[in-house]
A and B are shown apart, each in its own frame.
Chain A
């Protein structure tokens, strides 16, 4: 800390921007403030970090708006569950393609700063269209809004990560990633617990429930997207300023996507893809439909149902960094993935076949979801050469989005015709397929003598032997 202060003071006089902006106007300005304005200073980086976290807040907040207002959307727009789930499907469709091109667009076409601003604009405009769909009682407009929102949403996450790498590489990067993920989860949680309340307030002030109330509520929820856009603008300014002062390069995603690489993907990688898709389709669509499940099956009030529906995100916020550390220290990724998938299976079975307090099952789901994210995604790096990593991750996200879009629609249809029990059984079947793939992956990895399931010490040894 002392050192950095020293550094800051040394930098101050040589920084013309600084002198022009704040310091000259208020010569007695406290040192904290000047540190805040100095791009090389930790305090400044923390400010940037705060902006980065809120950059994603809006899109994560609004992503789950439909889940938080499930009953209201279905009632006010007079749609069944199948159509309701289209709101999620429409978000996923553009990302089936964009996952491949998000990085390319950010690096080559827009640049990180404009890319972020443009994606934030998409998010804002998408949310406004979504809300207008409510105000004008046009469900197709809502779908269009979610589509536009989807174009921005996922790419914004890529841009957010690029900023993080550009500002924090070699410093506190893992922590920053962890914090960004936590912030995303907080956004989802706040949404789940706030939107229902907001709706009732709007309803009270407008005098009646209806599509207008829904639209106005969503429009107010859209303020978070404006906040994110403001963050994007501020970040662009600060990033440009830092470039001028520190001659820092504009961040790049570094993603090189070559679709021809897909044919070289190994069997373990395909198995990882299957695990990923089958697992996530049993989590996100479930949360999207969960609120009514908790009110109807377990007799929860609307607020309690919102709270329990968001518990997965609440748990994931603090547990992601902890599990990340655990997996890093122990290795044995496949075993951790196996544990996560088995726990999720157990959790869905509890929800489906018992009337036990669902907090137990949902906490298990939250834990296993966090564990899986920490153990599964890094595995890709072990089975893919580095130059194909971008393609592999892009592909993984893409088919995950494809899976989510398709399964969202199917889940809605199952719910309308067969009910929640059958839906849960369907999710259990999905998780079970994922489990089957994990076991297969273990066997394949073992048979091929792969490195996937090495412990951390074994990995260290290999690294050392390679170094030698």
Chain B
């Protein structure tokens, strides 16, 4: 291990010891900087040689004219950096020894620096738990009693290498609190499943968000943890970097289309700025069962983004490593479920998905099946009316001819 430490920690091209280079060679369309149809996606776990190992997952999505880097890490609170470059040859450099030091600034770099078109970060800082029993209408009022939150920076996480799945381009961070005096997480865990895509498509599991090659999906699942109240609601604090003095806003888009997420007519998205920029997109729905059927759907409320001081949040070393220490942070809270209806208490299960990406957010279109049915449903009577009209007109003529003969 000692011999490996130097090259791994020092500057230079890193040599990942468990080389997990998954390449999907696909023809890429020349689509400019962003919005490429297909990408060659590889997932790499960048090893640090430490014990216990710290997780650093590099998702590297190469297109013809651009490269996207997603760096997920459970060093500190779970966080992701997203960096878009306008060259297919940009690379990520990691200086591990600096990264785990108290001042990690500059230990993560995407080179060449001038190729970076957009960069931002999302940090999952805290898991909240509220008691919902005393609230009559949790939709409008915030829950009254809240338990001390779990800081995700004080979680211990599994070794991500074990959960890396080359076939689905996915990996799972699974963690539980380091200090768990009540044993709430004795049989439970919080899992963050990260998945990348080489082309656009839609997963089979609700909420079936449409993804493209420019996006990355995160599924947060809380499984088996013992809630502290009979009807506990859980929430997640999400922090992000703001580009300017103002926080980015969460847009709530209403749509007519709920084909992929039955009875959910809303799509929420956070846009960091004008294009080309990044986005976080999610359906305001979470599920209390693994199947994610409609009867286990619960609402997901998002608070507006509010500016917050960096020292109030658990610090993410990778964010400081890439962006430095002078940053404006904004945070928002997601609350899953309501005091009535399905909830975590049903099966001690909760899952919620979001999409993280660069470029314009994917937009749902009516499915071919819907369009096909509509075409037939409107076309058939239309044609019939037309044919009928002709028939009547001709029939009328003939009728009048008969009359003239008579």
Contact = CB atoms under 8 A, between A and B. Distances in A.
Contact of A421 (B259, B340, B341, B388): B259
A78 B341 CA distance: 9
A435 B380 CA distance: 9
A421 B258 contact: yes
By Cβ-Cβ distance, the 6 closest A-B pairs, closest first, are A419-B262, A419-B258, A432-B377, A435-B381, A80-B295, A429-B377
A182 interface: no
Given A75-B340, A425-B373, A425-B374, A418 B262 contact: yes
A352 interface: yes
B263 A296 contact: yes
B14 interface: no
Interface string A400-440: 00000000000000011111111001101100110110011
Interface in A247-284: none
B268 to A, nearest CB: 14
A344 to B, nearest CB: 12
21 contacts: A71-B341, A75-B340, A296-B258, A296-B263, A352-B256, A353-B256, A355-B254, A355-B256, A415-B262, A419-B257, A419-B258, A419-B259, A425-B370, A425-B377, A426-B373, A429-B376, A432-B378, A432-B380, A432-B381, A439-B384, A439-B388
A439 B262 contact: no
Contacts, number: 93
B260 A446 contact: no
Contact of B392 (A78, A292, A416, A446): A446
Interface string B342-377: 100000000000000000000000100110011011
B199 interface: no
Interface of B: 254, 256-265, 293-295, 340-342, 366, 369-370, 373-374, 376-378, 380-381, 384-385, 388, 391-392, 395
A442 interface: yes
A74 interface: yes
B295 A419 contact: no
Interface of A: 71, 74-75, 78-81, 209, 292-293, 296-297, 299, 352-355, 415-422, 425-426, 428-429, 432-433, 435-436, 439-440, 442-443, 446-447
Contact of B385 (A297, A353, A439, A447): A439
Contact of B370 (A75, A81, A422, A446): A422
A446 B392 CA distance: 8
Nearest to A74: B295
Contacts of B376: 429
B384 A80 contact: no
Given A415-B262, A428-B374, 12 more contacts: A81-B294, A419-B263, A420-B262, A421-B256, A421-B258, A422-B259, A422-B369, A428-B377, A429-B377, A432-B381, A439-B381, A440-B384
Contact of B391 (A354, A422, A443): A443
Nearest to B339: A209
A416 B381 contact: no
Given A421-B259, A422-B259, A439-B384, A446 B374 contact: no
B287 to A, nearest CB: 13
A426 to B, nearest CB: 8
Given A355-B254, A432-B381, A435-B381, A443 B263 contact: no
A425 B340 CA distance: 31
Nearest to B367: A422
Contacts of A292: 263
